[in-house]
Homo-oligomer: A and B are copies of this chain.
Amino acid sequence: MSSNFGERIKISIFGQSHSEAIGVVIDGLPAGEEIDLEAVSRFMKRRAPGQHKYSTTRKEADIPEVVSGLFEGKTCGAPLCAVIPNTNMRSKDYTNLMKTPRPGHADYTAAVKYGGFQDYRGGGHFSGRLTAPLCFAGAVCMQILARKGIQIGAHILSIKEVRDDAFDPVQISAEILQEITEKVFPVCNDAAGERMREVIEDARLAQDSVGGVIEAAAIGLPVGLGEPMFDGLESKLAAILYAIPAVKGVEFGKGFAAAALMGSENNDPFYYDADGRVKTSTNHHGGSLGGISSGMPLVLRTAFKPTPSISQEQQTIGLDTRQNETIRIMGRHDPCIVPRAVPCVEAAMAVALLDLYYMQNK
């Protein structure tokens, strides 16, 4: 099992859905960085359940306790560890998962991989709950990135077939990112957001679920971030984004749509802007050329499958009975995890970008 990420900023995430606590160790933070824990909490609250009627009714206080790595409010060079106690657990809801794996979840694969010893309660280490420590780590990294002029923000690009307006990959600004990340339901076009909420509510009423796409951007990146080949911007970002449960696709810039363009359309012409800075007049490359940041906004999209937990009866297998069986998932679950996944995407990006930031310096 490998719950570590990063070379210069190393995070190690621990915990299961129903263990005593979950948390993260962040190793490699530079010393002397002031960390605003209030701001971290506000960021984490964007991911927390229970704010919307369409999200799970499990309440998580989710107050991370920083047990090391901060001294007088600043990073001190030692690994920063945050522990988030697990409370409000209802383990009995999940006891059947051991025997009848939920379709679309890791119950079956984990059972085989760990020989039946996995902590099956609530999905164990595979639970979406483990994105809470990721958000903590991301919020910390984001504060450091901000001091370097780098800002990250994401919005819901689509829920099922309802689409928000896409970011303008050339014009995206700090103001736009700020504004959108402050929304309870982060979309550019609030009317679209309203329709999305209806789609989610419809799914909930139908004991079903829906997925969606999150679009994210990072601006202010210096030119030169990202190492070639296996540690390029896309490689690092995709690797960490795919660690968020339910992600099934990641694309950069034009992404899959680029495959249908002519080279003459897709290539982004370089030019010097009025201030003598190098820009491209379009941004199909999404801020990365050869895996290295170009100075243009970094733009990516992440596809989330619909929440696999649905209350409808589903076909599954009895691991004990060796017979085909059916299951109804009764626990608390979101009909759509996309809104809560928005800060997770931002957090994952922040960790990867700060890691790459310190990899470039030599």
Contact = CB atoms under 8 A, between A and B. Distances in A.
A14 B25 contact: yes
Given A114-B32, A230-B240, A312 B76 contact: no
A4 B4 CA distance: 10
Contacts of A170: none
Given A1-B228, A103-B268, A251-B249, A306 B258 contact: yes
Per assembly, the copies of the chain total 4
A268 B102 CA distance: 10
A294 interface: yes
A315 interface: yes
A201 to B, nearest CB: 14
A259 B31 contact: no
8 contacts: A1-B28, A1-B78, A106-B228, A112-B224, A113-B292, A211-B259, A248-B286, A250-B251
Interface in A70-101: 70-71, 74-81, 83, 101
B264 A19 contact: no
A229 B125 CA distance: 9
Contacts of A197: none
Contacts of A310: 263-264, 267
Nearest to A301: B256
A262 B306 CA distance: 6
Given A1-B229, A2-B27, 18 more contacts: A3-B27, A4-B4, A14-B27, A19-B78, A31-B114, A104-B285, A106-B290, A109-B223, A109-B289, A113-B360, A209-B262, A211-B261, A211-B263, A213-B259, A259-B304, A263-B309, A270-B315, A271-B324
